[in-house]
Amino acid sequence: MTTDDHHRMPGDWDALVDHTPGVRARPSSTIDSDRHGPPVLTLMAAAWADLVGMLAVCTGALVAILVLGERPALPAFAWAAALAVVWWVFAAAVLVVVRQATPGMLLAGVSFLNPVSPRRVGWVLAAALVGVATLGLTGVIGGDGSILRLAAASDVVDGTA
């Protein structure tokens, strides 16, 4: 390995792949030929993972209030929830553009097959928030991620891009 190789960043620097010579990478999950998209339970898990991410930020904000020596009152809960939603919208918008998935989708191991058009990002975020609000039941209704698929104009597949 030359010194130039140390300063060059690989194109797939953010992929979870083992680049060690002689080590075979695990095959990615396959989709059945008669089924399109991930299982319904995985789509529900993506919505729940988005909810858990928001609850983590909300909890962190309330713990910060406690650390500052104040007692969280009822208005603090509303502010913490608003902070969590704002954080999620920002993080999800970035991840939908960069990794073709919301934070919950990445945690559940699903992503969009094709890159999402920038003018559709808002629709994808709205569809994901509806999934969070219904506790993942939107995955049951469409079965194959139809709400997210329609919002992104791309199929939802197992495995991240």
Please state the domain extents for the chain.
Answer: 38-158
State yes or no: pLDDT of 96 exceeds 50. Answer: yes
Q: Using the predicted structure, report yes or no on whether residue 17 has a pLDDT greater than 90.
A: no
How far is CA 62 from each of CA 54, 55, 79, 82, 116, rounded to the nearest angstrom? 13, 10, 9, 12, 34
- What is this structure's pTM? 0.71
Q: What is the mean pLDDT of the chain?
A: 80
pLDDT at 38 over 90: no
As a whole number of angstroms, the distance between CA 161 and CA 157 comes to: 9
